[in-house]
A and B are shown apart, each in its own frame.
Chain A
Amino acid sequence: MIRPRPASAIPRGRLRLLAVVLGLGFLVVGGQLAYLQILSGERLAALSDRNRLRLRPIAAPRGILFDRAGLPLADNRPAFTLVVVPREVPDLGALVDRLAALLQTPASELRDRLARVSADSPWPIRLSRGLTLEEVARIEEWRLELPGVTIEVEPQRAYPGVRFAAHVLGYVREASDQDLARSGLRRGDLVGQSGLERLHDEHLRGRDGGEQVEVDAYGRMIRILDRREPVPGAHMWTTIDRRIQQAVEDALGARAGAVVVMDPRNGDVLALTSHPAFPVERFSRPLDRETWLGLVQDPTRPLLNRAVQGLYPPGSLFKIVLAAAALQSQITTPFDRLPCPRQWVFGGRPYHNWEDHDRGALTLHEALQFSCNTYFYQLGLKLGPEKIVQMAEAFGLGRGTDSGLTGERGGLVPSPAWKREALKDKWHPGDTVSLSIGQGLITVTPLQMARMMAAVANGGTLWKPRLVTRVASADGRLVHEEAPRIQGRVEMAPVIFEFLREALGAVVAEGTGKQARVPGVSVGGKTGTAQTHEFKSDADRKRRDQDHAWFAGFAPLDEPQVVVVVFAERAGLGGQVAAPIAREVLKAVFLEKVARAELAR
Chain B
Amino acid sequence: MFRVDRRLLVQFDWQLLGLAGCLIVAGLVTVSTLVPRLGARQLVALGIATVGAMVILAVDYRTLARWACWGYGFGLMVLLAVLLVGRSALGARRWIAVGPVSLQPSELFKLAFIGTLAVYLASRESSRPGWDRVIVPLALTLPAVALIVKQPDLGTALTLLPVAVALIIVGGARWRHLAMLAGCGLAVLPVFWFLLRDYQRERILVYIDPSRDPLGSAWNVIQAKITIGSGQLGGKGLFGGTQSRLAFLPERHTDFVFAAYAESWGFLGAAALLVVYALLVLRGFEVATTARDTLGTLLATGATVLLAAQALVNLGMVTGLLPVVGIPLPFVSYGGSALLTAVGAVALIANVRMRRFA
Contacts and interface: CB of A to CB of B under 8 A. Distances in A.
Interface stretch (A42-50, A329-337, A429-437): A42-50
Interface in B214-250: 214-215, 218-219, 222-223, 225-233, 242-243, 246-248
Given A45-B232, A122-B248, A12 B289 contact: yes
Given A12-B289, A53-B222, A26 B170 contact: no
A592 to B, nearest CB: 42
A22 interface: yes
A51 interface: yes
A42 B42 CA distance: 34
Given A23-B282, A122-B248, A15 B301 contact: yes
A25 B230 contact: no
A26 B215 contact: no
Interface stretch (B108-116, B137-145, B263-271): B263-271
B297 interface: yes
Contacts of B242: 48
B339 interface: no
A29 B312 contact: yes
B321 interface: yes
B319 interface: yes
A124 to B, nearest CB: 9
Interface string B194-220: 000011000000000000101100110
Contacts of A11: 170, 172, 297
Contacts of A47: 226, 230
B262 A33 contact: yes
Contact of A29 (B125, B215, B305, B319): B319
B331 to A, nearest CB: 15
A477 B199 CA distance: 12
Interface stretch (B29-37, B180-188, B273-281): B273-281
A19 B225 CA distance: 28
Contacts of A51: 226, 243, 246, 248
B76 interface: no
Contacts of B271: 30, 33-34
Interface stretch (A2-10, A518-526, A554-562): A2-10
Interface string B316-327: 100111000000
A33 B265 CA distance: 12
Contact of B229 (A28, A44, A211): A44
Nearest to A42: B232
Nearest to A473: B198
Interface string B300-343: 01000100110010011001110000000000000000000000
Contacts of A9: 125, 294
A18 B301 contact: yes
Interface string A43-72: 111011101010101000000000000000
B162 to A, nearest CB: 9
Contacts of B230: 41, 44-45, 47-49
A130 interface: no
B interface bracket (residues with beta carbon within 8 Å of A): 35 or more
A150 interface: no
Contact of B218 (A10, A48, A212): A212
B277 A33 contact: no
Contacts of A32: 319-321
A209 interface: yes
A477 B198 contact: yes
A48 B227 contact: yes
Contacts of B309: 22
A44 B281 contact: no
A463 to B, nearest CB: 28
B169 interface: yes
B76 to A, nearest CB: 27
A225 interface: yes
Contacts of B301: 15, 18
Given A29-B312, A36-B319, A120-B247, A209 B214 contact: yes
A238 to B, nearest CB: 21
Contact of A55 (B170, B219, B288, B297): B219
B282 A26 contact: no
B267 A33 contact: yes
A226 interface: yes
Contacts of A226: 214, 218, 222
A219 interface: no
Contacts of B270: 33, 37
A36 B228 contact: yes
A40 interface: yes
A155 interface: no
A122 B220 CA distance: 12
A38 interface: yes
Contact of A212 (B125, B198, B219, B246): B219
A72 to B, nearest CB: 24
Contact of B274 (A30, A37, A49): A30
B293 A37 contact: no
A29 B226 contact: no
B166 interface: yes
A123 interface: yes
6 contacts: A5-B293, A36-B229, A38-B232, A51-B226, A210-B214, A225-B222
A-B pairs with lowest CB-CB distance, top 10: A44-B229, A210-B214, A41-B232, A48-B230, A228-B214, A37-B267, A45-B230, A36-B229, A25-B312, A19-B285
Interface of B: 125, 166, 169-170, 172, 198-199, 212, 214-215, 218-219, 222-223, 225-233, 242-243, 246-248, 262, 266-267, 270-271, 274, 277-278, 281-282, 285, 288-289, 292-294, 297, 301, 305, 308-309, 312, 315-316, 319-321, 358
Given A5-B292, A10-B297, A25-B316, 14 more contacts: A11-B297, A16-B285, A33-B319, A36-B228, A36-B320, A37-B229, A40-B229, A41-B267, A44-B230, A45-B230, A48-B230, A51-B246, A122-B219, A122-B248
